[in-house]
């Protein structure tokens, strides 16, 4: 199942710098492990914002939910999830048929 996930990060200004650095390091390691596993297919920065647009390919809604809740930055995020399906005008899909 494919999902588009827009993550807007809002880290509190007064967060302890050591806590912030440790959280960011854990976030990077976690996201890169999911990228290597193939579940986190793409990640793009939204220009001029502390946010990203990511594509996930997971087995279920529950799996995506677990991934998102386990993000170290989750407490500081505003997340919008959109389920995706192929479009009949997509030439990549048409060429496979």
Which residues, 6+ apart, have CB-to-CB distance to 50 below 8 Å?
A: 8, 9, 10, 11
For 2-96, CATH number?
3.30.70.1060
Residue whose pair of structure tokens reads 């809740």 in the numeric block:
69
Which residues, 6+ apart, have CB-to-CB distance to 91 below 8 Å?
A: none
The domain locations on the chain are 2-96
Contact 74/9 with Cβ under 8 angstroms? no
Give SS3 for 69: helix
pLDDT at 34 (0 to 100): 98
pLDDT at 92 (0 to 100): 82
Q: pTM for this structure?
A: 0.90
Gyration radius of the chain's alpha carbons: 15
Query: Which pLDDT tens digits describe the chain residue by residue (97 residues)?
Result: 999 999 999 999 999 999 999 999 999 999 999 999 999 999 999 999 999 999 999 999 999 999 999 999 999 999 999 999 998 899 887 666 6
């Amino acid at each position: 199942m494919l999902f588009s996930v827009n993550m807007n990060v809002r880290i509190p200004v007064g967060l302890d710098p050591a806590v912030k650095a440790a959280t960011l390091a854990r976030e990077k390691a976690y996201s890169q492990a999911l990228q290597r596993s193939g579940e986190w297919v793409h990640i793009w920065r939204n220009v001029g914002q502390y946010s990203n647009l990511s594509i996930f390919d997971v087995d279920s809604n529950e799996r995506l939910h677990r991934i998102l809740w386990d993000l170290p930055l989750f407490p500081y995020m505003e997340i919008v999830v959109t389920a995706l399906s192929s479009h009949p005008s997509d030439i990549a899909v048409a060429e496979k048929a």
